[in-house]
Amino acid sequence: MTAIAVPATRARRGLNSTYLTIELRRLLRNRRGIIFTLVMPPVFFLLFGTVSSYKTESVGHANVTAWIMISMALYGAILSTTSGGASVSIERAQGWTRQLRLTPLSPVTYVATKVAVAMVMGLGAVVVTAAVGMASGATGDTSRILVSLALAWVGSSVFAAFGLFMGYLLPSENVMQVLGPVLALLSFAGGLFMPLGDGVFATIAQFVPTYGLAEIVRGPITDEGVSMWAVVNVVVWGIVFVVGAAWRFRRDTARV
């Protein structure tokens, strides 16, 4: 048997615009997803952030309302990116990832597309929360607020990795039913919903994955600066999530 030369591969490389377009269309079709990521964070902001005293109280370069708006934008962004990443679990459960292995699509492109779509969702959450916030009394140094919002979006990529990791780890179709409450808990514990003060909770918070991001994202509008701990927190958790996601991803795509 003489093996013939491998023909030029017909696989396409890099991100594929048809895939991105269809994935974005799927996002818009998912009503429950939209409510969780685009409606809940601004509603939380309106409930907790628009007390009249907050509008006059300053945190340094913006009012408390802006501080809460930015926190909620970050919350919405991490909720979005986590659920975007975690959507791999649904697609694994439906056998879609297996089907993709019968096409030239590379698994890396698949994950890159999932992350790109998760980041679009995160951007949506940030923009909607900011629009509602700016229209409802959040004020301060606009350029600093914009830097904070941009940091919230970029930083939420850490949670896209978290979502991927969990999506590959948990074999469930409803992984967000677990991750939703987990994120809410992490957000409380990490000081995303309220200032931590100086007690034992503040000490615990330093080890929670949302803590570092919250500190860094709010840094520009406060005068406190960003602690070394916050940076270490984000870097360490980021490494944990990326390595975890890569480990599970390799396992998922390995030939058995």
Partner 1 sequence: MTTELLDTPVTGTLALDLRGLRKSFGTVRAVDGLDLAVRPGEVVAFLGPNGAGKTTTIDMLLGLAEPDEGTVQVLGLEPTSAIAAGRVSAVMQSGGLLKDLTVAETIELTASFFRGTRSPKEVMERAGIADIADRRVGKCSGGQQQRLRFALALLPDPDVIVLDEPTTGMDVEGRRDFWNALRADAARGRTIIFATHYLEEADAYADRIVLVSHGRIVADGSAAQVKSLTSGRVVSASFAGPLDEAALRALPGVQDVEVRRERVIIRTTDSDAVARHLLTATDATDLEIAARGLEDAFLALTTDHAESTGSIA
Q: Could you say whether residue 14 binds partner 1 (CB under 8 A)? A: no
Total length of the chain: 256
For 163-211, the DSSP string reads HHHHHHH---TTHHHHHHHHHHHHHHHTTSSS--TTSHHHHHHTTSHHH
**Going by C-beta distance under 8 Å and a sequence separation of 6 or more, which residues neighbour residue 121?**
27, 33, 37, 80, 81, 83, 84
Interface with partner 1 (CB under 8 A), residue total 33
Instruction: In whole angstroms, give the CA distance from residue 62 to residue 66.
Output: 6
Asked whether the beta carbons of 130 and 41 are under 8 A apart, the reply is: no
Instruction: Give the residue, chosen from 43, 51, 56, 104, that forms a contact with partner 1 under the rule CB under 8 A.
Output: 104
Instruction: Give the residue, chosen from 31, 32, 177, 255, that forms a contact with partner 1 under the rule CB under 8 A.
Output: 255
Instruction: In whole angstroms, give the CA distance from residue 186 to residue 226.
Output: 20
Asked whether the beta carbons of 239 and 165 are under 8 A apart, the reply is: no
228 vs 254, beta carbon nearer partner 1: 254
Nearest distance, CB of residue 30 and partner 1, angstroms: 7
Handedness of CA 113, 117, 119, 120 (dihedral sign): positive
Q: Could you say whether residue 30 binds partner 1 (CB under 8 A)? A: yes
Pick the piece of the chain touching partner 1 (CB under 8 A) from 15-23, 154-162, 225-233, 243-251.
15-23
Quote the DSSP letter at residue 226.
Answer: -
Encoded one letter per residue, x for contact with partner 1 by CB under 8 A and - for no contact, window 83-102 reads --------x--xxx-xxxxx
Nearest distance, CB of residue 111 and partner 1, angstroms: 15
Instruction: Give the residue, chosen from 22, 51, 231, 239, that forms a contact with partner 1 under the rule CB under 8 A.
Output: 22
104 vs 181, beta carbon nearer partner 1: 104
23 vs 141, beta carbon nearer partner 1: 23
Q: Could you say whether residue 174 binds partner 1 (CB under 8 A)? A: no
Residues of this chain that bind partner 1 (CB under 8 A):
1-4, 6-12, 16, 18-19, 22, 25-26, 29-30, 91, 94-96, 98-105, 255-256
